[in-house]
Amino acid sequence: MSITFATDESFGSMARQMGKILEQLNKGYYSFSPNETWTPNVNLYETESSYQVCVDLAGVDKEKIDIEVVDHRLCVKGTRAVPIVTKQAGDPGSGRTRVHLMEIDHGSFARLVELPHDVDAQRITAEHRNGILWIEIPKK
C-alpha cells in the first residue's frame, strides 16, 4: 500500500497545526479545565473515489458523537467522560482516589475539517472501531 501526503490547501493550513501545538504546550502539568473544549487528533487520507477522515476518539461512546457537514466543513463533536478508577476485588481501600496526573482530555470536544469542493456530502458514512472514528466522504 502506498501513502502520499496531500498538499492541497483545502485540508487546512500550517497555522492551524501550529495552534494545536501551542495549545498542547500551554496545558501544563496540572492545568485542566473541565469546561474547556478539547480537539481530537485527525488523519486525512484520499483514495481515487473518496476522502477518509480518521479521528482519535479513544474512550468516547459512539452514541455521544455528532457528525455534520456545513459549508464544505466536516464538524465532529461530542463528549468524553472522565476516565475513572474502578475498585478491584479484594482492595481494602476506602473508595477514595487521589489524582496525581490528568493528561487525558475529557468533556466536550469539537473538530472542524475543511473539505474539498468535490465531495458528495449526502453519502457520508461513519464507523467507530476500537476508539477510532472512520468517516468516508465519497467524491462526486
Are the CB atoms for 136 and 125 separated by under 8 Å?
yes
- Joined grid coordinates for residue 61: 461512546
Assigned domain for 32 exists? yes
77-81-83-89 Cα dihedral, nearest 10 degrees: -140
Whether residue 79 contacts residue 107, with contact meaning beta carbons closer than 8 Å, is answered with yes
Does any domain span residue 110?
yes
For 59-114, the pLDDT digits (tens) are: 999 999 999 998 889 999 999 998 888 777 667 666 677 888 888 999 999 999 99
Domain count, the chain: 1
Q: Rounded to whole angstroms, how far apart are CA atoms 80 and 96?
A: 22
**Can you list the alpha helix ranges (DSSP code H) found in 30-94?**
none
- Using a 10 angstrom Cβ sphere, with 0-12 exposed, 13-18 middle and 19 or more buried, the burial of residue 32 is middle
* The predicted structure's pLDDT at residue 80: 94
In angstroms, the CA 79 to CA 57 distance is: 10
In a domain, 91, yes or no: no
Angle made by CA atoms 14, 122, 10, in degrees to the nearest 5: 15
Q: What is the pTM of this model?
A: 0.71
Inside any domain, residue 121: yes
90 is a domain residue: no
pLDDT of residue 27: 55
Domain that holds residue 81: 9-85+98-138
Mean pLDDT of 120-134: 95
Q: What is the tens place of the pLDDT at every residue in 19-70?
A: 666 666 665 544 545 556 899 999 999 999 999 999 999 999 999 999 999 8
Is 75 part of any domain? yes
| Alpha carbon distances (Å) from 17 to 48, 65, 109, 112, 139 | 26, 23, 17, 12, 25
Residue 2 lies in a domain: no
Any domain includes 108: yes
Q: What is the CATH number of the domain that holds 61?
A: 2.60.40.790
